[in-house]
Amino acid sequence: MKLASFALAVCPTAKYILELLPMAARACTSLNGILIPWILMSEIQDQGFVVGGAQYLAVTSNPVFIVPYVSEHFRGPIAYISALSATTTREELQQAINNSLRQDDIFVEGFLRDVLVSASGPSELYVSVINYLEGLGSSVTYFNGDGPSTCGISTLTPCPLFGITDGDELRLSKVQLLYPDTYRTFVTDTYESKGTYKSFAWAEASWGCQRIGVKDIYDIEGVQTTAGSQAYAARIVDLGGFLVGKQKTAQCASPAHAWNWNNAYYPRNPRGDTFLSFSASSSGAGCSIAAYDWLDFAIGTDTGLSVRQPAAFSGTYGNRPSRGMILMENVVTNAHNTDIVGVFARGPAKWAAFAKVWCDPSLHQHTSLNGLPALSLPDDRSFLKRILYPVDHLPLQNPAAETILQMFLVDASAVLGATVEHFNLSATVEGVAGRPLSEVLGDLSVLWIHDLITETAEPLLAKYAPGFPPLDKPYRQVFHSSIADDVVYKAA
C-alpha cells in the first residue's frame, strides 16, 4: 500500500467545501484522548486527518471492509494485521512492523494506537505478542474472519486504514498520504473511488502500488482534461498502479519554454536555481520525476522531443518508443504521424521494467494503420555493444561540457564492453529517404501543421475564439494564420 500527494499550488475549488473540524480520535478503545484535526469534504464524503504531523486522506465514501463492532464510538486511524496466530512469535511481528516503518511511507507508528487482528481473542496469541503490542500502546480489537483483501491475505505486514463506527459496524477505508507539490508540476490531483477518479484540488500520489503521474493531454475517467488516455492509463491501473494526478503541459502540447507560458505557472526545475527551462510539452512530467522521490513514474508524449528533452534537462530517463507501440486514441492531437507515448523514471532498470509491462501487445497499433511490420520485442538481457556519436550534432560547443561527455563515453564503454562509433545522423536519414534532409523535414512539418490545425486549432478557435493572452506564443500565429491544405498533406 502506498500514498498520495497534494498540490499546494492548486487552490481548493467551490465544488469541494473544505472545513477544518476538531475530532476526538478514538481507537477501538481509545487514542489516549488525542484530538486529530480532519477535513470533511461534504460533497464527496472523504475525510482528512493527521498522524504524526503528516496529513492523510481517508476514502470514507468507499469503505473497503465492514467489521461487526459492538464497542464504543470510534473514528480514526487503525492498523489491520491479517496473519497473527498461535504460532506467531514476538520477533516475527516486531520484524514485520519495523520493515513497514522503514519501507512504507504511509505507515507510521500512530496507526498502531489501535490494531485490528484476525483472531477470535487473546487466547489465540502468544502472551509475548500481546505484551509487545501493549508495550507499543496499542489497543487491540479481535475479529474472527478474513479482513479487507486490499491489505493482503495471511501477512504480518500492518495495513494502515481509517475506521468509522456506524451503528454496530466498523467501516474501514483505505488511506492516502498527502505530499506538497513544491515544484508546481501538477494541474490537479486524482484518487480512485468507486471505480472512477476524483479530485479535491489537492493532488494524490501513490504497477503494484507504483505511483504514476499522467500528462494532462490524457483523458482519465472522472477527471477533466484541460489541454489535452485512459486506454494506456487503464493498462497501468490494471497492473496495480496508482494514478496520482494530471501534470502540467505546455499549451496544446506545444514546444514552449518557460518564458512563453502565459496560461499556467511553469513547473520549477529542481536543478540549479529552479528557474532553468524544463523544455517542451512534457515538462510537468519530467520535472515531477526529477523532483519527487515519492513518485515512481511519469507519463508524457513525444512528438518531436517532448519526452527525450525534458529527461535530458533533468538527468532522468525517458524515451521515444517505436511508432505504433501504443494506440493514441483520445489524446489531444499534435501530429498523428509522430505522436507517441513515453515514460519517465529515475533509474534505467526500473524504467525498462515499466516499459516492458506497459507496452502490451493488446495496445499495439494495427500495422494497417501505420504501414509498419509487426512489432517484435524478444527478451534480451545483454548489454548494448555500440554507442553512436552523431558527428553532425557533436562535439558540444562548450569545451568543458564536451570533456565531461568524453569522460562519460570512456567510462560507459569500459563498463558495457561497448565501442563508440562515429556516424552522421543526417546522412543516414538521407540515405534511407533518398532525398535531402531538408525536404524530409519539410514534409514532416506539413504533416504536423495539418493535424494540429484540423484536430486541435480549428475546434478550439470555433468554440472559444481565444486570442491574446489565452493562446501562448509558440502556437498563437500558427493557430490563427495556418491553413490545412489537404492536397499538400497527401503529397507529404
Rounded to the nearest 5°, which phi and psi values hold at 474? Answer: -55, -35
**pLDDT tier at 236, thresholds 50, 70, 90:** low
For the beta carbon of residue 52, count every other beta carbon within 10 angstroms. Answer: 10
pTM: 0.70
Cβ count near 99 (within 10 Å): 14
What pLDDT score was predicted for residue 429?
93
Per-residue pLDDT, 70 = 67
pLDDT at 15 over 60: no
Residues 6+ away with beta carbon under 8 Å from 45 = 60, 61
pLDDT band at 487 (very low <50, low <70, confident <90, very high): confident
Confidence class of residue 396 from pLDDT cuts 50, 70 and 90? very high
How far, in Å, CA of 162 to CA of 216, rounded?
A: 31
Mean pLDDT calculated for residue range 402-408? 97
C-alpha grid cell for residue 470? 489565452
Q: What pLDDT does residue 167 have?
A: 82
Is pLDDT above 60 for 471?
Answer: yes
Percent of all residues in the chain with a pLDDT value above 90, rounded to a whole number: 32
Question: In whole angstroms, what separates CA 6 from the centre of its chain?
Answer: 13
Segment 116-138 shows an average pLDDT of: 91
Q: Which residue has the higher pLDDT, 473 or 310?
A: 310
- At 74, phi and psi to the nearest 5? -140, 140
Residue 472: per-residue pLDDT:
66
Residue 61 has pLDDT above 60, yes or no: yes
Highest mean pLDDT of the ranges 59-73, 341-355, 367-381 = 341-355
Kindly report which listed range (395-409, 413-427, 464-478) carries the lowest average pLDDT score: 464-478
Packing angle of the helix pair 90-103, 127-135 (nearest 10 deg): 40
End-to-end CA distance of the chain: 50
Pairing of strands 191-193, 196-198: antiparallel
pLDDT band at 170 (very low <50, low <70, confident <90, very high): very high
Which range has the top average pLDDT, 2-16, 66-80, 289-303? 289-303
Mean pLDDT of 189-215: 59
- Find out whether 176 and 6 touch, Cβ atoms under 8 Å: no
Map the chain to HEC letters: CCCCCECCCCCCCCCCCEEEECCECECCCCCCCCECCEEEECCCCCEEEEECCEEEEECCCCCCEEEECCCCCCEEEEEEECCCCCCCCHHHHHHHHHHHHHHCCCCCHHHHHEEEECCCCHHHCCHHHHHHHHHCCCEEEECCCCCCHHHCCCCCCCEEEEEEEECCEEEEEEEEECCECCCCCEEEECEEECCEEECCCCCCCCCCCCEEEEECCECECCECCCCCCHHHHHHHHHCCCEEEEEECCCHHHCCCCHHHCCCCCCCCCCCCCCCCCCCCCCHHHHHHHHHCCCCCEEEEECCCCCCHHHHHHHCCEECCCCCCCCCCCCECCCCCCCCCEEEEECCHHHHHHHHHHHCCHHHCCCHHHHCCCCCCCCCCCCCCCEEEEECCCCCCCCHHHHHHHHHHHHHHHHHHCCEEEEECHHHHHHHHHCCCHHHHHHHHHHHHHHHHHHHHHHHHHHHHCCCCCCCCHHHHHHHHHCCCCHHHHHHC
Q: What is the pLDDT of residue 268?
A: 81
Phi, psi of 140 (to 5 degrees): -105, 130
pLDDT tens digit string along 370-384? 777 776 767 777 888
Q: Is it the case that residue 341 has pLDDT exceeding 50?
A: yes
Reported confidence tier of residue 204, pLDDT bands at 50, 70, 90? very low
Query: Could you tell me if residue 56 is left (phi over 0), alpha (psi between -120 and 50 degrees) or otherwise beta?
Result: beta
| Confidence band, pLDDT 50/70/90 cuts, at residue 5 | very low
Of residues 333 and 290, more confidence is placed in 290
Comparison of pLDDT for 19 and 407, the residue scoring more: 407
Q: Give exposure, 269-286, as e/b (b: 16+ Cβ within 10 Å).
A: bbeeeeeebbbbbbbbbb
Give the tens place of pLDDT for each residue, 263-289: 667 788 888 888 888 877 888 889 999
The answer to whether residue 8 scores a pLDDT higher than 80 is no
Q: Cell numbers 514534409 label which residue?
A: 443
User: Residue 174's CB: how many other CB atoms inside 10 A?
Assistant: 24
Q: Of 93-107, 149-163, 166-180, 211-225, give the range with the top mean pLDDT.
A: 93-107
What's the pLDDT at 364?
80
Q: Which domains does the chain have, with CATH numbers?
A: 18-177 (no CATH), 186-383 (3.90.1300.10), 385-492 (no CATH)
- In terms of DSSP bridges, do strands 114-117 and 75-81 run parallel, antiparallel, or are they unpaired? parallel
pLDDT at 466 (0 to 100): 63
Q: Are 479 and 254 in contact (CB under 8 A)?
A: no
- The confidence band for 414, taking pLDDT boundaries of 50, 70 and 90, is very high
Average of pLDDT values for 339-357?
A: 89
Q: Cell triple for residue 406?
A: 568524453
251: exposed, middle or buried (C-beta count within 10 Å: 0-12, 13-18, 19+)? buried
Binned at pLDDT 50, 70 and 90, residue 152 comes out as confident
List Cα–Cα distances, 249 to 233, 256, 304, in angstroms.
17, 9, 14
Report the range of poorest mean pLDDT among 114-128, 362-376, 431-445.
362-376
Condensed to tens digits (0 to 9), the pLDDT of residues 23-57 reads: 222 222 223 223 333 333 334 478 889 998 898 98
Mean pLDDT on 249-268: 70
pLDDT at residue number 1: 30
